[in-house]
Amino acid sequence: MTDHASTPLTGPFYAALQRGELLIQQCGDCGAKTMYPKYACPSCGSADLGWTASAGLGTLHSFAVQQVGAPTGFEDDLPYAVAVIKLDDGVQLLGRLCPDARDGWDSYFCDMRVQFDATSDDGRHIAWFRAQERTSS
Amino acid sequence: MTNPMAESELEAAFVGIAEIPSGRYPDRPFMGSLVQVAITAIRDAGLQVSDIDTVLLIPCLHSADDQADLIFSRVVEELGLHGRAKASAMLHSGGSSSDNITRTAAGLIASGQARNVLIVQAEKWGSAPVSDMVDMLSGYGIPREWERPSGLTFNAVGALITRRYMAASGSTAEDMASVCVALREWARLNPNAMYKDKELSVDKVLGSKLVCDPLHAMECPMLADGAAALVMTSAQHARTFTDRWVRIAGSGGCVSHYSIGQERDLATLGWKVAGEQAFNQAGWGPEDADLAEVYDSYAAVLAIGLEGLGLCKLHEAGRLFAAGEFSPGGRLPVNTNGGLLSAGHTGVGGGTALLVECVRQLLGRADDARQVPDPRRGVVGGTGGTYMDGQVLLLERVQKN
């Protein structure tokens, strides 16, 4: 697989992912947050773009569990679940869902709360999510 | 905005169509198919090949070499139009190419820059190696920096939309499967359909292998070979050689995303915005449509399209399919060729086939078994890539006085 992840645009994002952090692009001029990262701010056109850390909390918009028919290079991943996550930061992205306690995805459902899973990265440029842990607060 | 071309003598007119059967035809040559449908459509219009001054090519996806032939005017030379044709160009927006190319042709005709336009498409997806096509469809239109690393496939794109639609609408797996069954009933009436000879039931759909949960194998489109063509001219010219043609009463469009991960609502997409534009321009509403031909590479994509275009109530399309409302004999004929799901997914040509079918129905040239009785108005909906856009053409039959 060609590595498209080492460009000036993607490098900082994936380097952070490998450290267990989820970054979002933020405009230094208007403050707008952007995903996926862009070459110019889609809100004001500024090229003064930086990064801000996300708390990694959001809702699950939808997900799909690939059972067969993986692309070349992904065969050993089967089965796996891709998901569209709407972060509380106001941006969204495609990532993967960790298998649940029963080693499947039956406990997941649309609009449930999910959180970024910092422990799953193995340098493959995938943002992992799992069900949000309940807190007493 | 009302249609600026309404009542104009330079308003575009569909006058001819052609199509060859969709399916697996490994021995059928790509260029030969293009030439065959081109000549058939020109004759169907009542014109000569030499009357064509502009050739617009709908892209193929099976081969870069064959696509290059389209780009670099091989069709013009094959038809003997070299030295005479004013322009040959390919226009690509994936599954909505036919809608965008039609609007382009209409503009060229209306501005006097083209007189008789040939639009032609062929695809060899059904004969291409399946694993190559899976890899292609995991890269084509999927952002390589952001989404390919997760292993996103085209069936997963369909599954993401399907799951969101089912959650939003409360549709059951049986409702979704019934969309496929209704399309198959139409395909059984279409001699050009890939699955014209195979019956389908909800049990059969839900009993097929789970490919990408919630999608079963029989809910995923089958890649097919196919070819289709359309001929367009001005109303002024049409009335000199034919009694009946099809006009574009209104059109609209909305490009809603590039990345599927950036679509704000997977159960809405771009249809509502596109539909409102088109109906405002036409001056008539979804209730006035006699038939609809809306992109259906997955059942949920069609359900969302019908709802967004106002052809049924929001969140009800799945249940209405189950009740037979869009089947042969139902309230509103939908995808009367069997759609991409049962006529065959001819790549970019899936949308072309739906457009051709709408024009065919309005001209009254469909086979008896599936000809809608005396239709005047049809809705065409197309979409490309990961359902990045909703493109709408509202077509109307014109009968010469």
pLDDT tens per residue, range B165-220: 999 999 999 999 999 999 999 999 999 999 999 999 999 999 999 999 999 999 99
pLDDT digits (tens, 9 = 90+) for B305-343: 999 999 999 999 999 999 999 999 999 999 999 999 999
Minimal CA separation from B135 to chain A, in Å: 5
Minimal CA separation from B304 to chain A, in Å: 15
**Beta bridge partner(s), residue A52:** A24
Q: What is the pLDDT of residue B108?
A: 98
Residue B127 identity: S
pLDDT digits (tens, 9 = 90+) for B227-249: 999 999 999 999 999 999 999 99
Q: What is the pLDDT of residue B132?
A: 80
**Domain boundary assignment for chain A:** 11-53, 57-131
Arithmetic mean of pLDDT, B265-289 = 97
Minimal CA separation from A80 to chain B, in Å: 9
Residues 6+ apart with CB under 8 A from B286: B275, B279, B309, B310, B311, B379
Arithmetic mean of pLDDT, A67-95 = 96
Alpha carbon distance B8, B157 (integer Å):
42
CA distance readout (Å), B387 to A83, B128, B352: 17, 23, 16
Contact state of A65 with B159 under an 8 Å Cβ cutoff: yes
> What average pLDDT does the structure give for chain A?
93
More confident residue, A135 or B301: B301
| Chain A residue numbers touching B153 (CB-CB < 8 A) | 66, 69-71
Q: What is the pLDDT of residue B36?
A: 98
Arithmetic mean of pLDDT, B2-27 = 91
- Going by pLDDT thresholds of 50, 70 and 90, the confidence category of residue A136 is low
Asked if residue A1 has pLDDT above 50, the reply is no
Alpha carbon distance A5, A25 (integer Å):
15
Of B193, B194, B224, B14, residue with least CA distance to B119:
B14
Is the N-terminal amide bond of B295 cis, ω within 30° of 0?
no
Q: What is the pLDDT of residue B93?
A: 96
pLDDT digits (tens, 9 = 90+) for B108-156: 999 999 999 999 999 999 998 887 877 777 778 899 999 999 999 999 9
pLDDT digits (tens, 9 = 90+) for B253-265: 999 999 999 999 9
Q: Does A63 touch chain B (CB under 8 A)?
A: yes
Half-sphere exposure of B376 (CA within 13 A, CB side): 6
CATH number of A57-131: 2.40.50
Alpha carbon distance B294, B310 (integer Å):
12
Alpha carbon distance B359, B352 (integer Å):
11
Contact state of B163 with A69 under an 8 Å Cβ cutoff: no
Asked if residue A57 has pLDDT above 80, the reply is yes
Asked if residue A5 has pLDDT above 80, the reply is no
Asked if residue B4 has pLDDT above 80, the reply is no
Asked if residue B269 has pLDDT above 50, the reply is yes
Parallel, antiparallel, or unpaired: how do β-strands B54-57 and B117-124 relate? parallel
Helix (H) or strand (E) holding B160: helix B154-169
Residue B265 tokens read as 């609502």
> What average pLDDT does the structure give for chain B?
96
Q: What percent of chain B has pLDDT over 70?
A: 100
Q: What is the pLDDT of residue A134?
A: 80
- The answer to whether B216 touches B222, Cβ cutoff 8 Å, is no
Domains and CATH numbers, chain B: 12-128+224-238 (3.40.47.10)
| Chain B residue numbers touching A68 (CB-CB < 8 A) | 209, 211
Nearest to B259 among A1, A36, A83 (CB): A36
Asked if residue A137 has pLDDT above 80, the reply is no
The per-residue DSSP string of B284-347 comes to --GGG-SEEEE--SSHHHHHHHHHHTTSS-TT-HHHHHHTTTTSTTSSS-B-TT-HHHHH-B-T
Contact state of A70 with B151 under an 8 Å Cβ cutoff: yes
Helix (H) or strand (E) holding A86: strand A80-87
The per-residue DSSP string of A8-73 comes to TTTHHHHHHHHHT--EEEEETTT--EESS--SS-TTT----EEEEE---EEEEEEEEEE-S-PPTT
pLDDT digits (tens, 9 = 90+) for B290-299: 999 999 999 9
- Going by pLDDT thresholds of 50, 70 and 90, the confidence category of residue A4 is low
Alpha carbon distance B127, A37 (integer Å):
38
Arithmetic mean of pLDDT, B374-392 = 97
Helix (H) or strand (E) holding B39: helix B30-45
Q: How far is CA B85 from the centre of its chain?
A: 27
Alpha carbon distance B217, B215 (integer Å):
7
**Three-point CA angle B143, B149, B155, nearest 5°:** 70
Alpha carbon distance B289, A117 (integer Å):
50
Q: What is the pLDDT of residue B72?
A: 97
Contact state of A69 with B212 under an 8 Å Cβ cutoff: yes
Of B11, B16, B19, residue with least CA distance to B353:
B19
Q: What is the pLDDT of residue B121?
A: 98
- Going by pLDDT thresholds of 50, 70 and 90, the confidence category of residue A3 is low
- Going by pLDDT thresholds of 50, 70 and 90, the confidence category of residue A123 is confident
Alpha carbon distance B339, B298 (integer Å):
10
Alpha carbon distance B381, B352 (integer Å):
10
Helix (H) or strand (E) holding B361: helix B349-363
